[in-house]
């Protein structure tokens, strides 16, 4: 098993679970994203965890090839960049998030993207395709 398959095996089911929670609890999630989860202190702390996850991915799999595994690398680097941004500018992230996640339709759109990505990564991580 390659590092990309191992990471996809972890990330895929996580993305599926998050997508399911978003779809089942759209109204609650909309309130969380614009409320508690949008506080600068939470954004700062989540930035630390996001940066840590991104660094773990990039350190174990930083392969830029024309295969599906490049998706793992891109996710890792997005986590690194997103984590740093959350740590440095939590207030800006808060206002940006409010604009992006204004209503239940936005939550649904992000959930569907996360669901597709999670299904793809799960299939690759568990050699289903």
Structure confidence by residue, pLDDT tens digits, 86-129: 999 999 998 887 777 666 788 889 899 999 999 999 999 999 97
Domain limits for position 15 = 3-119
- Which pTM was predicted? 0.89
Per-residue pLDDT at 16: 98
Q: Is 35 helix (H, G, I), strand (E, B) or coil?
A: coil
Q: Is 36 exposed, middle or buried (0-12, 13-18, 19+ CB in 10 A)?
A: exposed
Candidates 2, 3, 8; CA nearest to 126 is 8
Q: Is 65 helix (H, G, I), strand (E, B) or coil?
A: coil
Whether residue 76 is contained in a domain is answered as yes
- Tally of domains within the chain: 1
Reported as a single tens digit per residue, the pLDDT across 45-90 is 999 999 999 999 999 999 999 999 999 999 999 999 999 999 999 9
Whether residue 124 is contained in a domain is answered as no
């Amino acid at each position: 098993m390659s590092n990309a398959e191992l990471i996809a095996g972890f990330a895929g089911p996580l993305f599926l679970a998050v997508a399911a929670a978003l779809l089942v609890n759209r109204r609650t999630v909309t309130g969380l994203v614009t409320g508690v989860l949008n506080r600068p202190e939470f954004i700062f702390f989540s930035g630390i965890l996001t940066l840590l996850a991104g660094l773990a991915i990039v350190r174990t799999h930083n392969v830029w090839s024309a295969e599906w595994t490049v998706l793992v690398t891109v996710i890792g680097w997005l986590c690194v960049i997103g984590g740093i941004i959350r740590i440095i500018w939590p207030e800006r992230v808060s206002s940006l998030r409010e604009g992006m996640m204004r209503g239940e339709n936005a939550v649904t759109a992000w959930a569907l993207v996360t669901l597709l990505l999670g299904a793809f990564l799960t299939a690759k991580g568990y050699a289903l395709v």
